[in-house]
Amino acid sequence: MDFIERLSGKVNEFPSLPIACKMGYLGTGESFVVYPLPGSNTVMEYMDGTKDQQLNFEFAMKSKSQKKIHQTLWLVQNELERLKDLESHDDSFKFEELIITNKPFINQIDDQGWFVFLLDVQAKITVFREE
């Protein structure tokens, strides 16, 4: 299933995005990433193997500039709230909706001046059985 790839790709299409979003975890320097969170589940499973799922994801940004983090995460949050369609490239899922479960918030600051802020979302999608 290519949902996280499509989500990351869609975010990178947002105009004026100050930094590209990658899949995975934060690096040692400035980075902006998306990764899955625990708690995702199947809401309904159909006889043909199709599943309605709720998937939890987190966007995280690490930078020494709080301004850049705010610009990035609030832009992403605002654009994702308006997201109505997200197409699978391999027909593995059908997008239903994306819900912002937590607005951007600070997660940590270290003694070297790095800030980490997070933005949590939940996607509701239908996943089709792989042939």
The CATH number given to whatever domain includes residue 50 is 3.30.2000.10
What is the per-residue pLDDT across 12-68, written as a single tens digit (0 to 9) for each? Answer: 999 999 999 999 999 999 999 999 999 999 999 999 999 999 999 999 999 999 999
Q: CA-CA distances (angstroms) from residue 85 to 30, 34, 71, 113, 116?
A: 30, 19, 23, 38, 29
Task: Judge whether residue 131 has pLDDT over 80.
Answer: no
The model's pTM? 0.95
Residues with Cβ within 8 Å of 113's Cβ and at least 6 positions away in sequence, in order, are 64
The whole domain housing 11 covers: 3-127
- Residue 9 phi, psi dihedral angles, 5° rounding: -65, -40
% the chain with pLDDT above 90? 97
Terminus-to-terminus CA distance in the chain, angstroms? 12
Alpha-carbon span 32 to 24, nearest angstrom: 9
Report the number of distinct structural domains present in the chain: 1
